[in-house]
A and B are shown apart, each in its own frame.
Chain A
Amino acid sequence: MEKVLTKNIRPDLSYVDVQAYESSGGYEGLRKALAMAPGAVTEEVKKSNLRGRGGAGFPTGMKWTFVPMGPDAPSPKYLVANADEMEPGTFKDRLLMEGDPHQLVEGLIVAAYAIQASTAYIFIRGEYFLSEERLRRAIAEAEEKHYLGKNILGSGYNLEMVVHMSGGRYMCGEETGLLNALEGKRANPRTKPPFPQVSGLFGKPTIVQNVETLSNLPHILRNGIEWFKSLSLSVDAGTKIYGVSGKVKRPGLWELPMGTTVREILEEHAGGMQDGLKFRGLLPGGASTDFLVEEHLDVKMDFTEVQKAGSRLGTGTMIVLDDRTCPVGMVRNLEHFFAQESCGWCTPCWSGLSWAEKALEAIEEGKGNAVDLDHLEYICKLCAPGNTFCALAPGAVEPLQSALKYFRADFERHVADKRCPWNHQA
């Protein structure tokens, strides 16, 4: 299979400098884009069927069309790379930033040119020191080569690129929470509408894209949309960086055609479960997606098919649950994370998730009762999409609601036995 996003990444993960990047066709996509009208670039990306890789899978080109263009459009406009990879179990953007930073820089310039942004921010997770260092270095190199700055490659287009390190909150990864954080405010989500495309960073039109999404752009521009579509095994175009964590033989990341099945990823690439462990289920796209179980192993990992299976592709980086790990304990751990990362803005989220955390803690410690189980079900409904201000709580209850569905007996055993069967196996 053709490697696209990861083709330059070296086995030792050493820095790929601008010469190395250029020698493999780097910045050719940018040259092509600059020769086109901004609207034509947007059109190209729209036709390529590229969907956002941050989790929601919104069509990228479509998002750009909502940005006001032309002489009357508000200015300045902004582009933001969401590199705040805080989703538990997800580490794909880190690989792209550390392994091939120029690819992201070029993607950003292409996208910024398409929406005519004058500043692009890279908002990086606070712990990604190496990503920061390499992106700063790549930006400096790109500036020297006139890929960035004033009058880029003689096109008359100007772009400044700024690296911003996050203070470290899950909410900073929510695009409007990120914008608030970038403005120096509390990372609470914002009201939508208005969407950031209309009123975003500093009240100006803004596009926020995930690192992986942006990294696809140079290749789409360079190789064309038909090529891009041909990479995929499904209706959703391109390749996808899939990841597996949990007690498998070879946890890691692989760039594979979009639509590779769960089974192939799990068994061929991750080498299957560690010896002596049985597969029980997995969260397909980070912590905030519903469990998939045995019956779903042949589901294609793309936006459409995973949704049909009752979950979400999310970030495409799965967390695997084995039979020696307590599912209640796993969900408790996740809900603790989500309850803690709730910004505290809307009631279902801050009160519901805290309650869920307490109830799971009680169940896990053998102090739960049947009412707690009912209430957990109730909290999942309370935090349904639309009932909350942003997507954090609906995402937070996805593993919980599916765990209650698929592992109900385990929850009930905790309550009936007044102890955790896994932690007290004496």
Chain B
Amino acid sequence: MAKVKVYVDNRPFEVADDQNMLRTCLQLGFDLPYFCWHPALGSVGACRQCAVKQYRDADDKRGRIVMACMTPAAEGLRVSVHDPEVVAFRAGIIEGLMESHPHDCPVCDEGGECHLQDMTVMTGHNYRRYRFNKRTFRNQDLGPLVNHEMNRCIQCYRCVRYYREYAGGNDLEEFVLRNLVYFGRHQDGVLENEFAGNLVEICPTGVFTDKTLKKHYTRKWDLQFSPSVCVHCGVGCNTSPGERYGVLRRVVNRYHGDVNGYFLCDRGRFGYEFVNGDRRVREPLVRRDSPGEKLEPVSKSAALERLRGILDGAKILGIGSPRASLEANFALRAWVGPERFHAGVGDGENWLTGAMLGALRDGKARSPSLHDVELSDAALVLGEDVTQTAPRLALALRQSVRWRGFELADRFKIPRWLDHAVREIAQDSRSPLYIATPNSTKLDDVATETFRAAPGDLARLGFAVAHALDPESPEPPALSDAMRSLAGRIAEALKNAQRPLVVSGPGLCSEGVVQAAVNVAWALCRSGKPAGLSFTTLECNTFGLGLMEARPLSESLSVLKQGLADTVVVLENDLYARAPKEFVDELFAAAKHVIVLDSLLNRTGEKAEVVLPAATFAECEGTLVSSEGRAQRFFQTFVPAGDIQASWRWIRGLMIATGRREAAAWEGIDDVVRTAAETLPALAGAAKAAPEAAFRAAGAKIPREPHRYSGRTAVHANIDVSEPQPPGDRESALAFSMEGFPDQPPSALTPFFWSPGWNSIQAVNKFQEEIAGPLRGGDPGTRLIEPGTNGHKGYWGAAPAAFQPKSDTWQMVPLYHIFGSEELSQIAPAIAELIPKPYVALGEQGAAQLGLKEGDEVEVKVNGWARRVAVRVRADLPSGVAGLPAQLPGMDYVALPAWGSIVKAG
């Protein structure tokens, strides 16, 4: 990239030469309208909205109309945005786009944040001349997430370009021609792509809107927002949840240049409704003395009274949570002491978390951001079904394979932003992506090669790749020729790359897989490659909990049995999803008292003596550590009714009540973070994740509400006609108000994107240092995990032996579902509709061997766990391996992978 001088309306500007003039003009602050262009999708020249006048030289007074999005910024280029002829042309384009638009803004969900509205106003087109009949369409039912209203369509093609070309979907197409192009599925049905929800933001008007919002619709200007972080997996996508009247209404993307960019996954976008659900604990619940009694709601003071009785002289043991904030976990750890603080995850996952953190901190391989992942030019995915466990990472990996195409385009001087030209010359040439998993994945369509095997064999493949890269890395015993040759090809591809990447994670709960991934990354590093090592984490704060060095969950029972503790405090966790039922039952039986802090009443809460209502991500502040190792702060969206408060505040209160005066110093969340950082050096950076509560912008707080927020004086008029004081916020620099700093706040404190004339989410253009680059002042969050400087730490030891299928038992591996395998989102009604019923998956050979066909009832038994489920026959599973869906609602925990039996139900 070099700098060139261009002239816009005769003003000279130094700009980058690797961009088109639309992006350049937007970057320079010109309001140039556009539709088909999108920063993540590039230029295709369809809508003709961003027309500018181009002049040959300073003497050329006539000029010619060109599309800014298709015009490269070149030395001496002269364009005019304001030339009257081109201004009229742009108004004419809008007039054409609006020919058949229904003008139904008052009843359209997009109204008030509609790019089409914004652009129409921007061009000045305001009078309708088209007097003929409009074309009309029939809409489709696209499932519970996305609403379809085709009459509003302006044929900009963004939806299909995003869905098909960017996200890899293949069930959304354009049909027919002329002014009758229909964007939809071949027939009604649920959109199959895991990132379909982004259509809501990609569509510049109201064709695709959020169907979950529809049920409790509120205009953007009437929502109260906060800067937030998604809690539905470990990736750490930034979100902007919106609330009104105490109901969380929706979640939209909050751009982050390094993490989620412009897009979220559907679990992250539509999982929010658990916050409004009837499974919420909204007031303290207490069980009467006799054991069989039910939990009953009581006042906060009654609950605290009861707790004082329980806690008086109690020896407490705490169980933390990978879905609770750093502050909540730290507060619990501080309360019960590091020796009595146990990880609220299965021992296997806990070990893997430690191993992954260790590898990232001790080795030289760096954990990449999603942006880094997109920049990778060769990748190996080992063991992880990324689309299901860390969906947004899969979308980033899908972009990474485009590098080969970019190189081709570079060779023929095709600008990388000229999207269709790049895709045409690239055709099927893709950067290497190798996917080794037990089951087929939704990324297989862009993979160079896939490899289906049992976890042990996946580990062996990884070890073989590492060995091929560095002979010092141990070689798996008795390697087959086929695997050696595949490993050779993978090693070659990674070695030849500039920015190779290894992706793995705890999904299969396999030590060998994680160790093999580490060996591959380290072997690459040893050969001088800047290898990335990306581990997924299953929950939003897995790494945050991991950094607290909690004791294994299994030890908690012996601690109780030894009498070292008698009271168990469970933080935001359903232990029945973490350990076998027998274990958890025994643990609770061994405890004199069980206290649960959670936002949801689950199987664990049902066993508690006291349940305290914990705030969800929308109701409190907190810090989460993503799988990248990035500490990010989420901020309270709204003040919940009742006694709901952040878990760490409950703990602080209980500590003070039981004489632990040091907790009194935690007046706000910043104090907790500071104490945590002082106590645990690994968390030192967490305090810098966002500005502290004392931060003020030009002396003012940051408003959570848009300045057009309506009805402030009337919202509570049914209760009291005098307008109440807005709730205070001592935890952050944000205010529950429309008043405050009127300009752009620091990126970590930006609740929503809005700029004059830009009411839609595309206002984000105005918040970025450069379009599609970092947000002004830098993207939010701080990385807590950086590679070590110690040099080579030595490879993980021996690879497992080759997998041997057995005749009568099956190796059961977990199969993940974006909709279903995560505790919080699975109770959001729209997501719940998409969760599969429990099943066992078998390969065709296995099914034939047992005489089973699709849908047959079977009894599955694994180490004492048993369940009747239906059979799913799938072609992808390797011989001897069967799959069980992970963490589906209503399925008890079973430790996998493990051998199990499948018997036809009689």
How near does chain A come to B34, taking the closest CB pair, in angstroms? 12
- Interface stretch (choices A219-227, A232-240, A348-356): A348-356
Q: Which B residues touch A382, using CB under 8 A? A: 89, 92, 96
A166-207 with Cβ < 8 A to chain B: 169, 171, 186, 190-191, 193-194, 198-199, 202-203
Instruction: Determine the residue in chain A with the shortest Cβ distance to B157.
Output: A345
Bound-state CA distance A194–B132 (Å) is: 39
User: Are B178 and A340 neighbours in the complex by a CB distance under 8 Å?
Assistant: yes
Any B CB within 8 A of the CB of A303: no
Q: A342-B177, A344-B181, A371-B129 are in contact. Are A191 and B96 (CB under 8 A)?
A: no
A129 at the interface (CB under 8 A from B): no
Shortest Cβ distance from A351 into B: residue: B96
Q: Which of B285-293, B418-426, B690-698 is the interface stretch?
A: B418-426
A276 interfacial by beta-carbon distance below 8 Å: no
B20-62, CB < 8 A from A = 44-49, 51
Q: How far is the CA of A74 from the CA of B154 in the complex (A)?
A: 39
User: Contacting B180 at CB < 8 Å: which of A186, A203, A341, A344?
Assistant: A344
* Interface flag for A358 (CB, 8 Å): yes
User: For residue A194, which residues in chain B have a CB less than 8 angstroms away from its CB?
Assistant: 412, 414, 421, 424-425
Contacts A355-B99, A382-B89 given: A387-B177 contact, CB under 8 Å?
no
Is B713 in contact with chain A by the CB < 8 A criterion? no
Does B70 touch A at the CB level, under 8 Å? yes
CA distance A359 to B130 in the complex (A): 9
Choose among A191, A342, A351, A355 the residue that contacts B45 (Cβ–Cβ < 8 A).
A191
A347 touches B47 (CB 8 A): yes
Find out whether the CB atom of A203 lies under 8 angstroms from the CB atom of B46: no
Tell whether, in the assembled complex, residue A362 and residue B132 are in contact, meaning their CB atoms are under 8 Å apart.
yes
Proximity string of chain B (550-579) to chain A, C-beta cutoff 8 Å, 1 when within and 0 when not? 000000000000000000000000000000
| Residues in A whose Cβ lies below 8 Å from that of B626 | none
User: Known: A194-B412, A351-B179. Is A346-B129 also a contact (CB below 8 A)?
Assistant: no
- B203 interfacial by beta-carbon distance below 8 Å: no
Our pick among A190, A193, A352 for the contact of B96 (Cβ within 8 Å) is A352
Assess whether A375 is interfacial by the CB under 8 Å rule.
Answer: yes
For B181, the chain A residues whose CB sits under 8 A away are: 344, 350
The answer to whether A386 and B177 touch (CB under 8 A), given A191-B45, A194-B412, A348-B96, is no
The smallest C-beta distance from A216 to any residue of chain B, in angstroms, reads 30
B155: interface (CB < 8 Å): yes
Range class of the A interface residue count: 35 or more
Tell yes or no: B427 within 8 A of A by CB: yes
Q: In the complex, which residue of chain A has the Cβ closest to the Cβ of B421?
A: A191
Encode B383-419 as 1/0 by CB contact (under 8 A) with A: 0000000000000000000000000100010100010
Residues of B within 8 A of A169 (CB): 177
With contacts A342-B178, A344-B155, A358-B132 taken as known, whether A191 is within 8 angstroms of B418 at the C-beta atoms is yes
A389 touches B45 (CB 8 A): yes
Contact of A388 with B by CB under 8 A: yes
Given A194-B412, A347-B49; A202-B418 close (CB under 8 Å): no
Q: What distance in Å separates the Cβ of B811 from its nearest Cβ neighbour in chain A?
A: 41
- Give A378 to B91 CA distance when docked, in angstroms: 13
Tell me the smallest distance from the CB of A358 to a CB of chain B, in Å.
Answer: 4
Which of B130, B179, B426 sits near A350, CB closer than 8 Å? B179
Give bound CA distance, A388 to B129, whole Å. 21
Does chain B have a CB within 8 A of A122? no
Take A339-B178, A344-B178, A362-B132 as given contacts and tell me if A386 and B425 are in contact as well, using a CB distance cutoff of 8 Å. Answer: no
* A343 close to B (CB within 8 Å): yes
Asked whether, in the complex, the Cβ of A355 is within 8 Å of the Cβ of B130, the reply is: yes
Give CA–CA (A198, B422) in the complex, Å: 12
**Are A355 and B427 in contact, with the CB atoms below 8 A?**
no
User: Roughly how many angstroms separate A378 CA and B93 CA in the complex, as a whole number?
Assistant: 12
Q: Is B65 an interface residue (CB 8 A)?
A: yes
Contact B414–A199 (Cβ < 8 Å):
yes
**Interface residue? B852 (CB, 8 A):** no
A375 to B, closest residue via Cβ: B129
Within 8 A of A (CB), among B167-212: 174, 176-181
Q: Are B424 and A203 in contact (CB under 8 A)?
A: yes
Closest to B66 in A: A386
> Once the chains are docked, how many angstroms separate the CA of A191 from the CA of B181?
20
Bound Cα distance A202, B176 (Å): 24
Given contacts A347-B96, A358-B132, contact A191 B177 (CB under 8 A): no
In angstroms, how far is the closest chain B Cβ from the Cβ of A73? 11
Give the contacting residue for B421; candidates A190, A346, A350; CB below 8 A: A190
Contact residue among A340, A353, A371, A378 (Cβ-Cβ distance under 8 Å from B92):
A378
B64 within 8 A of A: yes
Do residues A190 and B89 form an inter-chain contact, with CB atoms below 8 A?
no
**Complex interface bits, A301-343 against B, C-beta within 8 A gives 1, otherwise 0:** 0000000000000000000000000000000000000011111
- What's the least CB distance linking A288 to chain B, in Å? 16
Give the chain B neighbours of A198 by CB distance below 8 A: 412
Given contacts A194-B425, A354-B179, A387-B89, contact A347 B48 (CB under 8 A): yes
The 8 A CB mask of A353-369 against B (1 = contact, 0 = none) is 11100110010000000
Which residue of B is nearest A176, CB measured? B424
A282 → chain B closest CB, angstroms: 27
Chain A residues near B70: list those with CB within 8 A. Answer: 191
Contact residues in A for B92 (Cβ distance below 8 Å): 348, 378, 382
Please name all residues of chain B whose beta carbon is closer than 8 Å to the beta carbon of A190 when the two chains form the complex: 420-421, 424
Contact residues in B for A345 (Cβ distance below 8 Å): 46, 157
Please, which residues of chain A bring their CB within 8 A of the CB of B96? 347-348, 350-352, 355, 382
Q: Which residues of A contact B132 (CB under 8 A)?
A: 355, 358-359, 362
| Contact indicator A343/B177 (Cβ below 8 Å) | yes
> Which of chain A's residues has its CB closest to B70's CB?
A191
Given A190-B420, A389-B45 in contact, is the A203-B179 Cβ separation under 8 Å?
A: no
Most chain A CB within 10 A, of B49, B70, B408, B421, is at B421
Residue of A nearest to B160 (CB): A186
Contact string against B for A residues 150-172, beta-carbon threshold 8 Å, 1 for contact and 0 otherwise = 00000000000000000001010
**Which B residues are in CB contact (< 8 Å) with A203?**
408, 424-427
In the assembly, what is the distance between CA of A225 and CA of B51, in Å?
Answer: 44
Give Cα A353 to B155, complex, Å. 15
Q: At the interface, yes or no: B443 with Cβ under 8 Å from chain A?
A: no
When chains A and B are docked, how far (Å) is the Cα of A344 from the Cα of B44? 14
Q: Given the complex, which residues of A lie within 8 Å of B44, measured CB to CB?
A: 191
Identify the interface centre among B45, B92, B179, B418: most chain A CB within 10 Å of its CB. B179
* Cβ-closest chain A residue relative to B419: A191
Chain B residue at minimal CB-CB distance from A384: B65
The reply to whether A199 and B412 form a contact with Cβ atoms under 8 Å apart is: yes
Chain A residues lying within 8 Å of B51, measured Cβ to Cβ, are: 387
Instruction: Please indicate the chain A residues that have their CB under 8 angstroms from the CB of B620 in the complex.
Output: none
A378 surroundings in chain B (CB, below 8 A): 92
Residues of A within 8 A of B178 (CB): 339-344, 350, 353-354
Per-residue CB contact flags for chain A residues 377-394 toward chain B (1 = under 8 Å, else 0) read: 010001000111100000
Chain B residue with minimal CB distance to A374? B129
B525 interfacial by beta-carbon distance below 8 Å? no
Q: Is the CB of A387 within 8 A of B412?
A: no
Once the chains are docked, how many angstroms separate the CA of A250 from the CA of B221?
A: 71
Can you name the residue of chain A whose Cβ is closest to the Cβ of B54? A386
Q: Closest 3 interchain pairs by CB?
A: A351-B96, A344-B181, A358-B132
Can you identify 13 A-B contacts, CB atoms within 8 angstroms? A191-B421, A194-B424, A199-B414, A203-B424, A344-B176, A345-B46, A347-B93, A347-B97, A348-B93, A350-B181, A358-B132, A371-B129, A386-B64
Q: Which residues of B contact A (CB under 8 A)?
A: 44-49, 51, 64-66, 70, 89, 92-93, 96-97, 99, 129-130, 132-133, 154-155, 157, 174, 176-181, 408, 412, 414, 418, 420-421, 424-427
- Which A residues fall within an 8 A CB radius of B? 169, 171, 186, 190-191, 193-194, 198-199, 202-203, 339-348, 350-355, 358-359, 362, 371, 375, 378, 382, 386-389
Q: Given A344-B178, A347-B155, A351-B97, output 13 extra A-B contacts at Cβ < 8 Å.
A: A190-B420, A190-B424, A199-B412, A340-B177, A344-B179, A345-B46, A348-B93, A350-B178, A351-B179, A355-B99, A371-B129, A387-B89, A389-B45
